[in-house]
A and B are shown apart, each in its own frame.
Chain A
Amino acid sequence: MSDNKLPNSTPEHDFLIPDAEPVLERLFFSSRALFLLILVGLTIFLGYNAMNVGLDSRSEKYIPLEHEYIKNHLRHANDLSSGLNNIKIVVENTSGDIFNAEYMETLRQINDEVFFINGSDRSKLKSLWTPNVRWTEVTEEGFQGGPVIPATYNGDDESLEQLRQNILKSGQVGRLVANNFMSTMIDVPLYEKDPETNQALNPKTLADELEAKIRDKYNSDTIAVHIIGFPKKMADLIEGAANVATFFLMAIVITTILLYVYSRCIRGTIIPVVCSVVAVVWQLGVLNLIGYGIDPYSMLVPFLVFAIGISHGVQIINGIAIESGRGADKEMAARLAFRGLYVPGMLALLSDAIGFLTLLFIEINVIQELAIAASIGVAVIIVTNLILLPLLMSYVGISQSGISHAEKVEAAEPKLWRGVAKFTKPKVAAIAIIIAAALAVVGVIGSQNLKIGDLDKGAPELRQDSRYNKDNAFIVDNYSTSSDVLVIMAETPAEQCATFEALDAMDRLMWEMENVPGVQSTVSLVSVTKLMGKASNEGNPKWSAISRNQNILNSSVGRAPAGMLNQTCSMAPVIIFLNDHKAETLENAVKAAENFAKGYEDNEAIQFKLASGNAGVEAATNEVIAKAQTLMLVFVYIVVSVLCFITFRSVRAVLCIITPLALTSILCQALMAQMGIGVKVATLPVIALGVGIGVDYGIYIYSRLEALLIEGLDLHDAFLKTLKTTGKAVSFTGLTLAIGVGTWIFSPIKFQADMGILLTFMFIWNMVGSLVLLPALSRFILKPESIIAKHKARHGDAMPAEVL
């Protein structure tokens, strides 16, 4: 086929150099078979790699490593017991208190089972039945003590009463024994590594073992088992993440059906789906090649890649169908579609990719990896759906039913489109703009309460009504130790962590913190010192104070449990238990601690460093996110605007495309505030993704609208015509994207559901915005005459390829 048979048209806009696109088109289409072969080869290679992509659950990925809190935390990481490798099993008597023989027997059996669970550190295992849980008492002769369950225990009333007395003397009420005496806890510290295999413990195996051997076996009408702990949470997350595969299949099936309804062509349905799946395979393959894994956050990316792939595929199939309807043969139709859609497609995908890359501003690995994964995904779509897809279509072609369906649609003027086209009429446009402005105001007001961080209690990764969070709530309600812990590290010169001055300063910090709303209680070396002061004075509460006698202090430090100070006595953690990890709670606590620490900034005896504990890490994360949030939004808008401007060379065009996006962003923030979804690791990327992908609609619509205006149609007719082709594709795209991520709303993992809700909302609103607000704005902003003049100056009489 020679070039002069091609219709005389060139793309209205270009990226590289004006002649690059025709060159590319010639290149790909002149050696179709070769390129297809290369692409198939690549797919096999990357597919092999994709199979090896692993689940990456390194916890440091979720932490802002550059934040000062985290640096402080890491400096002392070896001295702070992370509390992460620990399972808590609570055995509840649902029909009475724990002081009955039957309950105690069940507890003993569970205790024995736990003892043999692989990975449990048996020497540190703690429950009423372990000998390390003791009572102590001050007598005339000094301290006396023994195991809480005495050797003489036989389950009769007398020994149960003895048990009650011992528990009271053991100080375990609120710790191992519930405050209401209706349940007790088995504290199971775990080895970091399986002692037999020396492999890192697999949380899933452990959790499965606990479920089977403990929960399933002992749950009954009278016994309820509650299990929490970091490994258990991780296991639940992994299990929840497994559902994602189901969601992915669901998304493919629904999209395929919709695509068929849309195109009425089996070939035109299968090919985009196949190409989009190829895009996913490529993306995963590349991830594996560059040494990345997939985590619960970046699991979103394959969905996005698939959906974005479909949406661009649809545009091309749509173009091919129309061209075929006009009589072009398979190859020519594919070529023309490629020519017409290459530039807006490229622009859209590039703005997606660069939009994602703005996430690199957030110094949290998991977000940065998400950004890279998504950018890779979008980049591969350029190859799979803008090149591979038309190449494939140039062989298989679109079916007759598809062509006639496309023609029918183009000929018909559905009421919907005629209605939508009315938005180009001045009056309707004005009303639309006023409504949009009103919505923006509502959005701004509604988003006043937008919070940074996690707003729910318990494990924020999981849903509130998940088993884990119910178990967690039970323990929070019935025991005195909270699972939300802020740790402030008191640093002193070596061997000086227990001077009177250091301890007194720590004591003041503790009191300062206890006066902060949201703080439950505090513990530190000071608590031990005060307790020891009292204990060594026969339990007289009047002695609970820090002594000024260094010998007394040293001896109480000698009795301090592990984790209350480091080896060299140069650091002692002040542990602050919080009610929850809501953003406000964290903010209050951290602010108070910062203020206090400032007062000791230059002190030689003691300084206070924030922060460790899950709340410390979360506070740091929130801070990083709060700082990055605005920066990222500004950048993503600048990038998208600049790309639009470079392509369309018109500020007016940029305004028409960007304004609907901005409205969506504002409304999205309001939605987040209203739904109680905070700006966090999971939702911050969504804002960038929403803008990056949302701009596609505007780009496609505008580029077609502009071409038709150049052809000489007035705004209304041009827009109506745009709607019938591109508009249809755009609305379809909005739908597929929304479905792709919408399945996430059902994820048992809370943050995935949050991402799903927000992305669905943004995709749909961006679509509506581009169909309604864009034409309305065009009415007042665009100047068709100057567009035509510009066109003439550049291309003369040649019609833009986008007209199709």
Chain B
Amino acid sequence: MRPLRSVHATTKAVFQFVKNSIIVASIASFTLPTMAQWQDPLDTPARSTLKAPSSLLLDIASAGERLVSVGERGHIIFSDDDGYTWRQASVPVITTLTSVYFVSSTTGWAVGHDAVVLHTKDSGETWVKQFDGFKANEMVLAQAKTNKQKLESELSKVKVMGNSSRIADVEERLENATYALEDAQIDFEDRSTKPLLDLWFKNEKEGFVVGAYGMMFKTMDSGTTWVDWSANVENPDRFHINSIEQINGDRLMMVGEAGLMLRTTNGGDSWKQMFSPYEGSFFGVTSLSKQGVQVAYGLRGNLARTDDFGSSWRLVDTGTEQTLIGGTDRVGRVLFVVGNGGAFLKGFDFARKWESEIRVDRANAAAIIETLSGHFVVVGDNGIQLFNQDGEKLSVSVKSI
């Protein structure tokens, strides 16, 4: 009997083992987290990567002595040694970020695609999301409805007055407003978003963000709430607003698509068009503040200069046909502008005379900043690049930690 019993015991043990295994396996399968489904990029934190300083970056700003740069996939990186070594910030989204601005060494905002607005209070190390395209859609839709209603009542008023030229004017505006409402309706329903492209803050409370299709929002409470400001901008065709820049005090300028040039003298409360010398797009506006000179630059090497706060703009020969995207952000006597195809421009003599060079890497650049130690950090397709004043690449390696 003994062998039989042992066979039986073995069978039992095997059976027990199999049973246990099944239980273990089923528990394991139940306790496994359900497979992660796709998460919206606005709800997905940026992946930590050492590659951020060498991938697409679109803007760079200074927060005191710190440099902060933003780019694709929610990358925000910062450097405390004038651009040699970089660390990655913690960012709650993976949308492409287009612009960054600091009002102090600690407080700043960044904007990007999906009309996202991010805010930092610790010099750019951690960021929180304040606003996004879905909220923007709601506000744009509400504003578009209001605009239309206003114009409808205005139309009925002017019709009563019977002024035919005014009727035609209001009718045209109403037509535009109707289109705008339709577009806003579609965007809202399709959850289609538009990018913000630039921003400016007056102080830690008050600022503007601007972007595609004439989007403009204003905050008075550090970004907690926003209002649609586009109704205060003379931009009936809803052209993209590519850049906003403070000239001095309450005087600001914005440039954009199809030669759009706007200025304000009341801190941004209302914006009026300037006479544009060019029908192509401007991507940036940069100021030689002390000399009272501004330049706006854009498509195919076109660069316009003014020394009377935009009352008159004149195109200046730059010697390049490369599209220009970004200019220097620090106070200096010489202006630097960068753009596509490795374009690197220097403006002398109050920005009247320009020298253009093509950097050897021929990569597209989106922004340039002068560091405290006198060299330049250029950001673009290839990430961070360091250059001296002659546009020669510094032979140092950019580190990522």
Chain A interface residues toward B at CB < 8 A? 137-140, 168-169, 173, 501, 504-505, 508, 511-512, 514-515, 537-545, 547-550, 598-603, 605-606
Contacts and interface: CB of A to CB of B under 8 A. Distances in A.
B96 A545 contact: yes
Contacts of A139: 280, 299-300
B341 A168 contact: yes
Interface string B168-192: 0000000000000000000100111
Interface string B33-58: 00111100100000101010001101
B300 A601 contact: no
Contacts, number: 95
B218 interface: no
A541 B279 contact: no
A604 to B, nearest CB: 9
A477 B95 CA distance: 33
Contacts of A173: 362
A709 to B, nearest CB: 39
A540 B325 contact: yes
B364 interface: yes
Contacts of B73: 511
Contacts of A540: 242, 281, 283, 323, 325
Interface residues on B, range: 35 or more
The 4 closest A-B pairs by CB, nearest first: A545-B96, A140-B280, A549-B192, A542-B98
A538 B362 contact: no
Contacts of B381: 541
Contacts of B94: 508
B299 A138 contact: yes
A260 to B, nearest CB: 63
A82 B51 CA distance: 30
Given A139-B300, A539-B340, A548 B114 contact: yes
A99 to B, nearest CB: 14
Contacts of B190: 548-550
Nearest to A542: B98
Interface in B80-127: 94-96, 98-99, 113-114
B193 interface: yes
A548 B323 contact: no
A514 B47 CA distance: 12
Given A140-B280, A511-B47, A603-B35, 8 more contacts: A169-B341, A537-B240, A540-B242, A541-B58, A543-B195, A545-B95, A548-B191, A549-B190
B325 A541 contact: yes
A538 B56 contact: no
Contact of B364 (A137, A505, A541, A605): A541
B380 A541 contact: yes
Contacts of B215: none
A467 B136 CA distance: 60
Contacts of B283: 540
A538 B35 contact: no
A541 B38 contact: no
Contacts of A603: 35, 37-38
Contacts of B240: 537
B133 interface: yes
A545 B299 contact: no
Given A139-B300, A173-B362, A549-B190, A538 B281 contact: yes
A605 B38 contact: yes
Contacts of A606: 38
B193 A548 contact: yes
Given A515-B47, A541-B364, A545-B72, A140 B299 contact: yes
A223 B80 CA distance: 49
Nearest to B36: A599
Which of A173, A543, A599 has the most B CB atoms < 10 Å from its CB? Answer: A543
A169 B49 CA distance: 31
A140 B300 contact: yes
A169 B340 CA distance: 10
B368 to A, nearest CB: 13
Contact of A140 (B36, B279, B340): B279
B252 interface: no
A527 to B, nearest CB: 12
B197 interface: yes
Contacts of B366: 541-542
A624 to B, nearest CB: 26
Contacts of B280: 139-140, 538
Contacts of B192: 547-550
Contacts of B35: 598-603
B323 A539 contact: yes
A766 to B, nearest CB: 41
Nearest to B73: A511
A545 B56 CA distance: 11
Given A504-B38, A539-B323, A598-B35, A544 B51 contact: no
B72 A501 contact: no
Contacts of B99: 542
Interface in B185-244: 187, 190-193, 195, 197, 240, 242
Interface in B18-76: 35-38, 41, 47, 49, 51, 55-56, 58, 72-73
Contacts of A544: 56, 72, 96
A545 B113 contact: yes
Contacts of B113: 545
Contacts of A501: 38
A537 B96 CA distance: 15
B113 to A, nearest CB: 4
Contacts of A600: 35, 37-38
Contacts of A598: 35
Contacts of B300: 137-140
A598 B35 CA distance: 7
Nearest to A173: B362
Most buried by B among A138, A140, A549: A140
Nearest to A540: B283
A608 to B, nearest CB: 12
A547 B194 CA distance: 8
A600 B283 CA distance: 39
A453 B41 CA distance: 38
Contact of A138 (B47, B55, B114, B323): B323
A505 B323 contact: no
B138 to A, nearest CB: 15
Contacts of B323: 138, 538-540
A392 B265 CA distance: 114
Interface string B333-352: 00000001100000000000
B191 A542 contact: no
A601 B35 CA distance: 7
Given A541-B325, A603-B38, A515 B51 contact: yes
| Max count, chain B CB within 10 A of own CB: residue among A137, A505, A544, A605 | A544
B101 to A, nearest CB: 14
A383 B39 CA distance: 69
A225 B320 CA distance: 35
Nearest to B55: A514
B128 to A, nearest CB: 21
Nearest to B114: A548
18 contacts: A140-B279, A140-B300, A508-B94, A512-B47, A539-B299, A541-B325, A541-B340, A541-B364, A541-B381, A542-B242, A543-B195, A544-B96, A545-B96, A545-B113, A545-B195, A548-B133, A550-B190, A599-B35
A505 B195 contact: no
A512 B94 CA distance: 13
Contacts of B95: 545
B245 to A, nearest CB: 16
A542 B51 contact: no
Contacts of A541: 56, 58, 325, 340, 364, 366, 380-381
Most chain A Cβ neighbours within 10 Å, of B192, B283, B364: B192
A530 B37 CA distance: 23
Nearest to B280: A140
A537 B300 CA distance: 13
Contacts of B37: 600, 602-603
Interface centre among A542, A548, A550, A599 (most CB of B within 10 A): A542
